[in-house]
Amino acid sequence: MRKMKILGPGCANCRKLETVAREAAAGAGIEAEIIKVTDMKAIMAYDLMSTPGLVIDEKLVSSGRIPTQAEIREWLSA
């Protein structure tokens, strides 16, 4: 099971990223646990410049934007 973290304060973009990430994992047939991280100290530990951020298996793969489902599926498959 892959582990994805959505980094951000819970804004509309953070919620949209969560939706896109869930759909991408489901579309790829990959089982993924999605965790929302809203604590700023925890977010800053990932050296994130702007939210929302996406972390897959403890690696920051996206920040400051909402990646496409295709991008997320590619990252999950890697």
Active site amino acids:
11, 14
Tokens representing residue 69 in the block: 């489902």
Tokens of 28: 């790829």
Peptide bond into 52 cis (omega under 30): yes
How buried is residue 60: exposed, middle or buried, by Cβ count under 10 Å (0-12/13-18/19+)? middle
